[in-house]
Amino acid sequence: GEQVEQLPSILRVQEGSSASINCSYEDSASNYFPWYKQEPGENPKLIIDIRSNMERKQIQELIVLLDKKAKRFSLHITDTQPGDSAMYFCAASFDSGGSNYKLTFGKGTLLTVTP
């Protein structure tokens, strides 16, 4: 099955700076790459995603880049705020429209934004 590697596992940045999280995947057939944010004591929630027909997607301060050749994708948070402190998970999946759909997550990045 798919394997997703996520780095770094811990990231500490100063408020107002940028934070970057990198993920790589193994299955070249994977075509959907979401990012989930989990705040302490909460459940994971989707914050942004990108499909294989795109190379870049931005929602406000969140930017996702996808390099299909290298099988890598990344999340960039610009102008970080203390509220961005959380666990972030990348994930990958292959959606064929069939009945065997599953999402494989990376191990997570714990982001801390310091004032």
Point out which residues bind another protein (CB under 8 A).
Answer: 1, 6, 9, 32, 34, 36, 42-46, 49, 89, 93, 95, 99-108
Q: Look up tokens 């299909």; give the residue.
A: 68
Instruction: Please identify, using beta-carbon distances, which residue of 63 and 106 lies nearer to another protein.
Output: 106
Least distance between another protein and beta carbon 35 (Å): 12
Least distance between another protein and beta carbon 4 (Å): 9
AA identity, residue 13: V
Least distance between another protein and beta carbon 79 (Å): 26
Instruction: Count H helices and E strands in the chain, helices first.
Output: 0, 11
Instruction: Please identify, using beta-carbon distances, which residue of 24 and 34 lies nearer to another protein.
Output: 34
Residues 6+ apart with CB under 8 A from 37: 44, 45, 47, 86, 87, 88, 89
- How far lies 21's CA from each of 18, 44, 102, 108, in Å? 10, 17, 22, 9
What's the rounded Cα separation, in Å, for the pair 47 and 39?
12
Instruction: Please identify, using beta-carbon distances, which residue of 11 and 78 lies nearer to another protein.
Output: 11
Least distance between another protein and beta carbon 31 (Å): 10
Instruction: Please identify, using beta-carbon distances, which residue of 19 and 35 lies nearer to another protein.
Output: 35
